[in-house]
Amino acid sequence: GQSLEQPSEVTAVEGAIVQINCTYQTSGFYGLSWYQQHDGGAPTFLSYNALDGLEETGRFSSFLSRSDSYGYLLLQELQMKDSASYFCAVRDPGDMRFGAGTRLTVKP
């Protein structure tokens, strides 16, 4: 079956860098996505990696290693508004599975 593992909580200070890891087990694999969700809000798409390597979008970067079934989301220059839950999700043929989410708390 499929499973995704990501830390349940991460805390960091403003201006710091934080990395949220995601490991997965799937029977098929198309790609790894990341989403951000603030309390009471809808998820926001952050990135999608289908190939190995690092994708950078502003302060956020996402990395994928298909051979290790592993990816991470890197958030730089943390701001208070980055406090939210972050979900990784795996696309496989016909389905999409989400991790349980990592709650990031940014402190001043």
Q: Which positions lie near other proteins, rule CB under 8 A?
A: 30-31, 33, 35, 41-45, 48, 50, 87, 89, 91, 94-101
35: β partners: 45, 87
The C-alpha atoms of residue 64 and residue 58 are separated, in whole angstroms, by 17
The C-alpha atoms of residue 27 and residue 102 are separated, in whole angstroms, by 24
- Least distance from C-beta 65 to other proteins, angstroms? 18
Q: 44 or 79: whose CB is closer to other proteins?
A: 44
- Least distance from C-beta 95 to other proteins, angstroms? 6
Q: Which two tokens stand for residue 48?
A: 């999608």
- Least distance from C-beta 15 to other proteins, angstroms? 28
